[in-house]
Structure 1
């Protein structure tokens, strides 16, 4: 992994933890603005890492909710409309 990716991912992990503590699910945007003033490249790598982490958290939450519903005989949650595409 390149230095930029390591730095960005480490900061993203710390930022995700801070977001929980601060109860602010958009805090990463503020951190990205600070980074962007001196390194747009690091900012983009950071945003990518944040988006991946947020997406993975949402996916895991959906998976857990679907399994819980199945195990309890309840109706599984519906995936968001338009979820078949990404980029």
Structure 2
């Protein structure tokens, strides 16, 4: 994959996911993918991959943050009952 393709796909992914988060339109990246794909299937595939990577990381990060909060709450509750 060319460096320019990767850069363009990454920038589009960052921008659309930021707008998606602000508007609450969770499928906006799919709509943009169709528009991009009409002109370049290669860029569409790279763009959608970049979006999916970022969305997967966000989901994983939320899962870990929730687990950390859950463990901290359990530790705090245990400390209160022991203290």
Which band: TM-score by shorter chain? Answer: 0.7 to 0.9
Specify the structure having the higher radius of gyration (Cα): 2
Q: Paired residue for 1:22?
A: 23
Provide the aligned length of Structure 1 versus Structure 2: 74
Query: Deviation of residue 22 (structure 1)?
Result: 1.4
Structure holding more helix per residue: 2
5+ unaligned residues in a row in structure 1: which ranges?
75-87
State the SS of the aligned residue for 1:52: helix
Q: Taking structure 1 as the reference length, what is the TM-score of the superposition?
A: 0.82
Q: Taking structure 2 as the reference length, what is the TM-score of the superposition?
A: 0.86
Alignment of 1:40-79 (within 5 A): 40-73=41-74
RMSD of aligned alpha carbons: 1.2
Larger RCO: 1 or 2 (CA < 8 Å, sep 6+): 2
